[in-house]
Amino acid sequence: MTIAPVVLPQHAAARRRQKENTRSAGYTVLGIVFLGIMLFPVYWMINASLQPSGNTLTADIFPFNPSFAGYEKAIADQGQNLVTSLLISLGTVALSLAIAAPAAYALAQFRFRWINVALLAIIISQMIPGIVIANALYAAYNDIGLLNSIPGLILADASHAIPFAILIMRAFMIGIPPSIVEAARVDGAGLVRAFVSIVVPISRNSIITAGLFAFLFSWSDFLFALTLTTTEEVRPVTLGIYQYLGTQVSNWSAVMATAVLSSIPAIVLLILAQKYIAAGATGGAVK
């Protein structure tokens, strides 16, 4: 007769913990590998921007003799384009939130049959190819004189950011109890004051999230900038980099330096608003 070995409970628990630790370590290593693969292009962009020769084909794996000549040339050539992109992006955020926040609250709180139709129209508007909108705006801007203008690009970028901002903020505002706004109305606040004083502070996370995405949409826009600008007077940095390639193919350090400089605002905003994005994106998921 064979007697099966007796496994003590503490030994079984120790084995289980060992397996879990091994599995967790494997996932950690796998995650580090994937993260390294995704971040390598960013590292190579920074590395190439510091190469003194400006040639990415013969660049070392690490800039042992870093040179900031590429950044000096990038700031001299693309500094105005960076300022233009910043003005357009900030204007897009302001216009998008000014329109999307009241619209999102109305779609979240009002109980009408046409609400679902409006939401469907907003979703469909997100599916329209950007080139179609750009061509239509070009014809309209040519008639009203908004080509090659910062307000024209702000309107174009806002047309892309507003529908997404409405969907983001509505998902959060739909969970706001109507009794809070009704209490403010009883105290004498009007509709506008109740919205500004009660709804906006409560919806801070979703508003910051929507504003950040509107900024990123505008900051990375290339199609509207290419279609709606024909001169060098108003040129966002995305279009500047595109046209930079034709004249700086032998000096990639300046091109990569411009790409690094254009990435800094987005990285800084994402780091500062990380907790608000996490709260705003999931605010409407659970009631």
Q: How far is CA 204 from the centre of its chain?
A: 17
Distance CA(94)–CA(115), nearest Å, equals 25
Contact 170, 107 (CB under 8 A): yes
Flag whether pLDDT at 163 surpasses 60.
yes
Tell me: pLDDT of 60 over 90: no
Cα angle value 135/136/141 (rounded, 5°): 95
- Mean predicted confidence (pLDDT) in 22-32: 86
pLDDT given at position 80: 92
pLDDT for 159 beyond 50: yes
Give the HSE-up count for residue 23: Cα atoms under 13 Å, Cβ half-sphere. 6
Domains of the chain: 73-281 (1.10.3720.10)
Of all residues in the chain, the percent with pLDDT exceeding 90 is: 30
Q: Please report which confidence band the pLDDT of residue 91 belongs to, taking 50, 70 and 90 as the band edges.
A: very high
Nearest of 287, 241, 282 to residue 263 by alpha carbon: 241
pLDDT bucket at 249, cuts 50 / 70 / 90: low
Spatial separation of the C-alpha atoms in residues 96 and 27, rounded to whole Å: 40
